[in-house]
Amino acid sequence: MGLPFELSEYKSRQDMLFRELPDSSILIIPTNDRKIRSNDVGYPFRPNSYMLYLCGWEEDEGVFVAHNQRGNLESILFVPPRDTKKEIWEGIRIGVEGAKSWPVTSTSSIENLEHEILAMIGNFDHVYTILGVSEEVDKISKEIDVISDPTPIIDMMRRIKSTKEIEHMQEAASIGSQAHRFAMEKAIPGMGEWEIQSAVEGFFMNAKSTWSFPSIVGGGSNATVLHYKSNNCIVKEGDLVLVDAGCEINGYASDITRTWPIGGKFTKPQRDIYELVLKAEKAGIDACRVGSPWTLMHRVVSEIIAQGLIDLGILDCDLEQALGDEKKLDGPFRNFFMHGTGHFLGLDVHDVGGGRQGDPGAPESLEPGMVLTIEPGLYFADWRDDIQIPEKYSGIGIRIEDDVLVTEEGPVVLSSSCPKEISEIESIVGSGV
């Protein structure tokens, strides 16, 4: 295991955080506990994003502790010691000595955690930690009178990506784009949704990455379920397939959605809806400019979607009525476009920083170095009985999503190599069989 950033970048993040914390503060950042799936089989381990961000430790049982006194910042990384008997079964650990090359002042055995932290606490006026992540740290925290949450401060730092972070995210977006294209090439009528999922996630593995979230592969009406999970149905000739999938590189995620016809040709109703969603998506991307209000992309997308639904005869009203409340945008167009337009992207797929429409703490405007998704969609579920679905659009679900970097020169689409134009998609689907 190596570090994806120079030591200086981690040290810069630590210094930046402690400039925001009051003097005489101690910070305790645990990584995640391992979780049991069944009996003695665990879920794949993924470190806490805050741990990755501040010191890059990827093994389990790690705790990062930092403190400042009169401007002097010191840090300790508590890690499991080497243990030959365990390592025979589970693999070689970095250990206390090996961890000294990480961006910390010193290291110590995790076995000393409680004793050393409780001995230090009395020397500081402010204690910051994240609760609910580590049982051991939660237990120690019960001995502390007042604890503050550092995540709001760290979240603001994580909004803006460094040059090296952007490089990792570009790699994740490029691999994700290639995986989507590969799945399109291999797709034929009669395939199972799980086979398409396998094509995508197998590509991730071949590229030495992993999925950033369980892939959504919805064929036909399953595409109208926003977070469809089953991926267990056959995709028939004439169906659309919605694939929402992304990979992770050095902890950094991509998140890309494409929708395409399993037989290689869009029908007229499918094309009409697809063109509308694509038009809205492109306009949403163009709205991702430095200084633009955070809410602008959603407004621009919503106006195009609403007007398109009117033009197609799906809504029988004017644009103002279709949009609803000026601020809430809660008009009848929301029957078919139920989610927000985008979210921040980074160490988490739905990254921190208040990055979804309506979330508290959302930024007032976009800044250089922010990375976000733009993902409009339209869904005409044939199983819904709460609204009237036009027959010719019944069962159609379409979402298009790209990863977008905000720069002074304008928006940069990190996932631009993933096909989304109709002519390109129709030429690719099934071409690799």
Catalytic residue list: 40, 227, 244, 255, 339, 343, 350, 375, 379, 399, 401
Residue type, 374: I
Quick one: how far is CA 195 from the chain centroid?
23
Q: At what angle do helices 296-311 and 268-286 cross, to 10 degrees?
A: 160
Closest by CA to 213, choosing from 343, 395, 365, 368, is 343
H/E run at residue 129: strand 126-129
Answer positive or negative: Cα dihedral of 132, 136, 141, 143.
Answer: positive
Helix (H, G, I), strand (E, B) or coil at 385: coil
Q: 149 phi and psi, to 5 degrees?
A: -95, 120
How far apart CA 121 and CA 127 sit, in angstroms, is 8
How far apart CA 117 and CA 111 sit, in angstroms, is 11
Residues contacting residue 105 through CB under 8 Å, at least 6 positions apart: 74, 75, 76
Quote the radius of gyration of the chain (alpha carbons, Å): 24
Answer positive or negative: Cα dihedral of 201, 207, 208, 211.
Answer: negative
How far apart CA 115 and CA 231 sit, in angstroms, is 48
